[in-house]
Amino acid sequence: MSVAIVTDSTAYLPQSLVDAHHIQVVPLHVVIGGTEFSEGVDVSTAQVATALRAFRPVSTSRPSPQAFLEAYEKAAADGADAVVSVHISGDMSSTVESAHLAAKQSPVPVRVVDSRSLGMAMGYGVVSAALLAADGASMEDVAAQALSRAAAARVVFYVDTLEHLRRGGRIGSASAFLGSALAIKPILELADGRIRPLEKVRTSSRALARLEEIAASAALDAGGDVDIAVHHLDSAARAEDLAGRLRSRVESAREVSVLELGAVVGAHVGPGTLAVVVSARPQGALAGGGTGDPTGTGAPAGP
């Protein structure tokens, strides 16, 4: 069976990985001041950051079922016998609902996977699934690989303010931090598809130090090789600094990447956000091995 991989733009996969593994990416949408844009196509994160700082209205929306159906039809036309479609947590977006609706009309079987995650926590799962699919695995095994790697990733992040999460309704139990929001720099985590409060610290420098500590601990707990992604929105220098420290500190890290958050997630977390994803590499029969890819992602390892 030939299994094609479809995901959405909130995986924030580098284009080199999308091309190398023949992954189709369906964009979510961001609306700035009443004008709708497609993430990764005709809007930049800088535009979103500027709009948020100017207090212009910014909102997001899911892809249409038709957009997914077109992706599934293209996969079938390209020779796929089945599709595994991996998406942002259903608790964060209704994107998976659009994918399910499209799957009912697809010319080939489609397994829709709610990754319970986003960003490179989902992205690493997507790439591992693509590697396994390239080795000829079944649709069921490919879907299981995507979900298991995404679910096992640790995601922690720092935001300059909780206001953007509050406005977008994505704050969940982290709303407990709102009462003291002006006096703290919150560290949050993504757990089982939801944003949860983790720690309250007093300064941004302390928050970044805690992100480093938590990531290093998560890598140690993984018990094997890991990939690390440092996401940011309009905070490249701090992201590069954090990534450099993690490269030096985490011996089990085979790749440490710095990747900007896209417009959709950026609209909800706001400028200055830093996030760290620690993703254990799969082992054993479902590792997607035999590809000649030493990193497990198709990208060169970090220094």
CA distances from 13 to 69, 168, 176, 275 (A): 21, 23, 32, 15
**What does the pLDDT read at residue 182?**
52
Q: Is 16 left (phi over 0), alpha (psi -120 to 50) or beta?
A: alpha
Looking at the chain, which residues constitute the CATH 3.40.50.10170 domain(s)?
A: 3-28+63-151
Residue 176 pLDDT greater than 60, yes or no: no
Structure confidence at residue 172 as a pLDDT band (50, 70, 90): low
Looking at the chain, which residues constitute the CATH 3.30.1180.10 domain(s)?
A: 154-285
The architecture CATH gives domain 154-285:
2-Layer Sandwich (3.30)
Give dist(CA 38, CA 92) in Å, integer. Answer: 18
3-state DSSP call for residue 54? coil
Highest CATH level, class, for 3-28+63-151: alpha beta
Q: What is the pTM of this model?
A: 0.86
**What does the pLDDT read at residue 267?**
82
Give dist(CA 276, CA 186) in Å, integer. Answer: 14
Q: Could you please report the per-residue DSSP string of 63-122?
A: PPHHHHHHHHHHHHHTT-SEEEEEES-TTT-SHHHHHHHHHTT-SS-EEEEE-S--HHHH
